[in-house]
Amino acid sequence: MKMIDKVMNELQKQGFLPQREDVGIAFKYQMAGYLFLADKTDDDYFSLYIPYFFEVDEENKADVLEAMNAINNDVKVVKLVINDGYVWACFEEKLPENANIEDILLYSIVTLYVSRQQFYEKLKEV
């Protein structure tokens, strides 16, 4: 079974309301929008994001980078990046064929959410 199908099945099983998109699966958790991007060349690649959650401009860029760096140093497996002028929280991992998607999916959802919240807290400090 392809990773996108495993993720869709597990999200539905956990009570989420996932929607298939052209690029993957979109769903919400705690008012945050999530995006699972399907990798058509690698069925075992797991990539979940909270995209576009904070806009970056010239005035806030230095503070944003400092807050992102703090999170990237503190939180394991999550990285914050800037894409298209917005901060994204990313959880990406090459999984073995028999990986327990239930544990990985729930862990990634919560870890991304916490990293986003920590980003906002760090941004207040800088």
Q: What is the Cα–Cα distance from 37 to 43, expressed in whole angstroms?
A: 11
pLDDT exceeds 80 at position 67: yes
The residues near 56 (Cβ < 8 Å, ≥ 6 apart) are: 64, 82, 85, 86, 87
pLDDT at 73 over 80: yes
For residue 97, pLDDT beyond 80: no
31: helix, strand or coil: coil
SS3 state of residue 33: strand
* Mean pLDDT, residues 96-125: 94
Return the SS3 of 108.
helix
Which of 57, 94, 54, 47 has the alpha carbon at shortest distance from 71? 54
pTM above 0.75, yes or no: yes
